[in-house]
């Protein structure tokens, strides 16, 4: 148990420290070097600096742990504990002066997500969870929304040009036709954390990378949510769809998504204990 708890405490402390460093760079963003990694995909010196700082802090405590980071790739992927890091999720928002960005730190133990921290430095709000311990926003315990229909709240959605536009737009039409509404704020990790907090009723993105969602998967499971099996079929390295909602809404959300884009559900209360 201490193996998990020590890493949980470190994940929270390093997320806060790294987040405050990133916030200072956000306030001086006009000085940053910005590069393009592809269509609507940017990276800044803040991303690179923040990820390097997190790795350095973790290795100082747990030298044998592995890493998967958006900027640094996979290192020691066969380690018992693997840290999955997005130093700034929502870089486009970050570099354009919008507050919809965050840090995401997830930890896997022997391939299973067990720790999740999503930190929003602009609001000083830390969403955090560890397997079997519940999910929290700072000190407030989280619970997913009780909605059973998309018409009962606001749905979060995400999209990238890694998938065809016509594979996604019909889903939005079906949501609207059922009386639903949706938002996209530019940070999948933050919107998934909002689902765990009950602020959004669910979230769908046809392709998302592991560093954008693994931390939030732990949050969702610990907050009573249902999430598709994101890690199936190489999701850790290649990404997958992400579908998340409360248990009452999840079946309807699946029905609004083309069946071939769905993965089997994975509920937190069915996860085996690891410690």
Contact between 191 and 237 under an 8 Å Cβ cutoff? The reply is no
User: CA torsion, points 223, 227, 230, 232, in degrees to nearest 10?
Assistant: 120
41 annotated as ligand-binding: no
Q: Is 148 exposed, middle or buried (0-12, 13-18, 19+ CB in 10 A)?
A: middle
Spatial distance between the Cα atoms of 163 and 147, rounded to a whole number of angstroms: 29
Closest CA to 45 of 66, 20, 65, 25: 25
For the chain, give the longest Cα–Cα distance.
53
166 annotated as ligand-binding: no
Closest CA to 189 of 85, 40, 274: 85
Contact between 218 and 131 under an 8 Å Cβ cutoff? The reply is yes
Spatial distance between the Cα atoms of 156 and 190, rounded to a whole number of angstroms: 10
34 annotated as ligand-binding: no
Write down how long the chain is: 275
85 annotated as ligand-binding: no
Spatial distance between the Cα atoms of 133 and 28, rounded to a whole number of angstroms: 37
Contact between 162 and 107 under an 8 Å Cβ cutoff? The reply is no
229 annotated as ligand-binding: no
CA angle, corner 34, sides to 39 and 67, nearest 5? 80
Binding residues: 70, 86, 88-89, 212
Cite the annotated binding site for Mg(2+) by residue number.
Answer: 70, 86, 88-89, 212
């Amino acid at each position: 148990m201490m193996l998990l708890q020590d890493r949980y405490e470190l994940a929270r402390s390093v997320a806060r420290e790294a987040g405050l460093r990133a916030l200072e760079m956000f306030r001086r963003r006009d000085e940053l070097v910005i590069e393009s990694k592809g269509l609507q995909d940017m990276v800044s010196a803040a991303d690179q600096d923040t990820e390097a700082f997190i790795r350095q802090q973790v290795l100082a405590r747990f030298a044998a742990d592995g890493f998967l980071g958006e900027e640094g790739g996979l290192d020691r992927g066969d380690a018992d504990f693997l840290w999955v890091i997005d130093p700034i999720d929502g870089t486009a928002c970050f570099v354009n002066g919008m507050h919809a960005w965050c840090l995401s730190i997830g930890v896997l133990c022997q391939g299973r997500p067990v720790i999740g921290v999503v930190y929003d430095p602009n609001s000083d709000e830390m969403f955090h969870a560890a397997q079997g311990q519940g999910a929290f926003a700072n000190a407030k315990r989280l619970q997913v929304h009780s909605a059973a229909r998309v018409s009962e709240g606001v749905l979060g959605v995400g999209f990238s040009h890694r998938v065809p536009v016509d594979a996604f737009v019909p889903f939005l039409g079906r949501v609207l036709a059922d009386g639903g509404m949706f938002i996209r704020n530019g940070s999948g990790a933050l919107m998934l954390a909002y689902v765990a907090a009950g602020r959004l009723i669910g979230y769908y993105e046809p392709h998302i990378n592991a560093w954008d969602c693994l931390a939030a998967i732990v949050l969702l499971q610990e907050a009573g949510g249902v999430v598709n099996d994101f890690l199936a079929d190489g999701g850790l390295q290649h990404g997958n769809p992400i579908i998340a909602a409360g248990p009452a809404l999840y079946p309807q959300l699946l029905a609004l998504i083309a069946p071939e884009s769905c993965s089997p559900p994975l509920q937190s209360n069915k996860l085996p204990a690891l410690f």
